[in-house]
């Protein structure tokens, strides 16, 4: 055993080495330890046991297809009231979503779309035909669509249970459910920050049913509002238990709260140290999750590069177009909209890891992989095909 400065970490390191799940008390000790270097070293070792030297990124298209929402979450700066803030409303037609996805070519492996609880857009009539269009036009692209909160909303609109709506979505091409909407599972916190959203039990039920049907998913946690360390650890343990019941989560993504333009602005920004601890604690608590993602657009690219030394093994990836992410940009993120894949590879290599291009389900691709040319690519005059440029 390595000599550790904080004695509280010794028994935890022993458990981690033996593959024993950490307890709630262990998790709190990890958040409170002054020995951040040992925490990072333990989390990095756990990452290396999971994914070796690999750190993943994805060539992605990111779209927020609507910001109309009636849920009224207190931490949200993205949602627009369609009657009082009509100038802020973004509600894309299916053709606009398709055009946005193709705006910078077809060489990408995932399309990631989330939006608000918009009664005009969040319906099967809108999504099923669009999903089939994606699969016909871009058969190499995995559809990473919706959050469990959106699926719950859509199920209630259509008077369908989770098994039925998920079967409909899967039959039209849904590959992966995004991890948002989890926020913090504790009911007393949800009541204060997102009273009109799915409960923790509903969120978990959507994901567990999706996994049973062969749809993959990710999980998130919003941290930095009014929750305590105990609430964060409770959240992680509920995710770990859910993964044991119905495996299918690929990555866990800690989402740092951003305070600009929302009702919880007095919570302020998370600190770099809190962000780094969050990655390390997640890696150590979630021993049955393969991947911990450091999403550059949320904690910032520099913190996310450091997070690779604290247990993270994924940096998410490119967005494609230059203006599409609205959720965090409405809340004051300092990250830009665009980082290219060469930059991800450089940042990962600088830390001593091997960059690996992936899709939503972590199938691996050569960094210069390109899809076959689709007949319609030849007809679209104004699309710059990155494949053609590279060739």
Kindly list the residues in this chain that would bind ligand SF4 in the complex (CB under 6 A).
69, 71-73, 76, 78-79, 116-117, 149, 194, 197
CB of 297 to ligand SF4, least distance (A): 16
Q: Give 227 or 313: the residue with its C-beta nearer to ligand SF4.
A: 227
Q: Give 257 or 310: the residue with its C-beta nearer to ligand SF4.
A: 257
CB of 75 to ligand SF4, least distance (A): 7
CB of 139 to ligand SF4, least distance (A): 30
CB of 144 to ligand SF4, least distance (A): 17
- Determine the Cα–Cα distance for residues 206 and 153; give it in Å rounded to an integer: 11
Q: Give 112 or 357: the residue with its C-beta nearer to ligand SF4.
A: 112
Q: In the chain, at which residue ranges do the beta strands (DSSP E only) sit?
A: 54-58, 60-64, 110-114, 142-145, 174-177, 216-223, 249-256, 291-292, 314-317, 354-358, 364-365
Q: Give 22 or 69: the residue with its C-beta nearer to ligand SF4.
A: 69
Residue among 249, 230, 232 at smallest CA distance from 287? 249
The angle at the Cα of 100, spanning 156 to 70, to the nearest 5 degrees, equals 30
Q: Give 178 or 217: the residue with its C-beta nearer to ligand SF4.
A: 178
Decide if 41 contacts 72 (C-beta within 8 A): no
Q: Give 194 or 280: the residue with its C-beta nearer to ligand SF4.
A: 194
CB of 91 to ligand SF4, least distance (A): 13
Q: How many CB atoms lie within 10 A of CB 203?
A: 26
Token pair of 83 as six digits: 């009657």
CB of 337 to ligand SF4, least distance (A): 19
**DSSP per-residue string spanning 8-76:** HHHHHHHHHHHTPPPPHHHHHHHHH-S-HHHHHHHHHHHHHHHHTTEEEEE-EEEEE-B-B--S--TT-
């Amino acid at each position: 055993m390595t000599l550790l400065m904080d004695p509280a970490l010794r028994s935890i390191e022993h458990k981690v080495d033996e593959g024993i799940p950490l307890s709630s008390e262990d998790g709190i000790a990890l958040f409170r330890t002054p020995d951040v270097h040992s925490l990072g070293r333990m989390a990095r070792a756990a990452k290396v046991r999971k994914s070796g030297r690999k750190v993943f990124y994805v060539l992605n298209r990111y779209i927020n297809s609507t910001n109309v929402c009636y849920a009224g979450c207190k931490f949200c700066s993205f949602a627009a009231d369609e009657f009082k803030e009509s100038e802020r409303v973004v509600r894309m037609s299916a053709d606009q979503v398709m055009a946005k996805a193709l705006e910078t070519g077809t060489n990408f492996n995932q399309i990631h779309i989330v939006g608000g609880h918009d009664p005009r857009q969040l319906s099967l009539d809108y999504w099923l035909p669009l999903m089939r269009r994606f699969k016909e036009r871009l058969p190499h692209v995995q559809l990473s669509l919706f959050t469990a909160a959106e699926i719950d909303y859509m199920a209630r609109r259509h008077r369908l249970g989770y098994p039925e709506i998920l079967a409909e979505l899967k039959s039209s091409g849904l590959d992966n459910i995004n991890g948002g909407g989890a926020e913090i599972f504790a009911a007393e916190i949800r009541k204060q920050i997102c009273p009109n959203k799915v409960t923790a039990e509903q969120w978990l039920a959507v994901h567990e049913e999706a996994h049973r049907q062969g749809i993959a998913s990710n999980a998130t946690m919003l941290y930095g509002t009014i929750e305590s360390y105990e609430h964060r650890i409770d959240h992680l343990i509920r995710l770990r238990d859910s993964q044991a019941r119905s495996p299918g989560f690929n990555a866990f993504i800690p989402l740092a709260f951003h305070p600009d333009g929302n009702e919880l602005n007095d919570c302020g920004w998370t600190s770099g140290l809190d962000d780094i601890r969050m990655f390390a604690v997640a890696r150590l608590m979630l021993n049955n999750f393969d991947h911990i993602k450091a999403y550059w657009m949320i904690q910032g690219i520099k913190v996310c590069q450091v997070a690779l030394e604290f247990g993270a093994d994924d940096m998410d990836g490119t967005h494609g177009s230059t203006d599409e992410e609205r959720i965090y940009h409405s809340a004051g993120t300092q990250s830009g909209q665009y980082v290219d894949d060469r930059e991800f590879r450089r940042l990962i290599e600088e830390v001593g890891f091997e960059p690996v291009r992936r899709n939503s389900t972590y199938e691996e691709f050569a960094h210069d992989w390109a899809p076959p040319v689709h007949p319609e690519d030849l007809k679209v005059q104004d699309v710059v095909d990155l494949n053609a440029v590279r060739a």
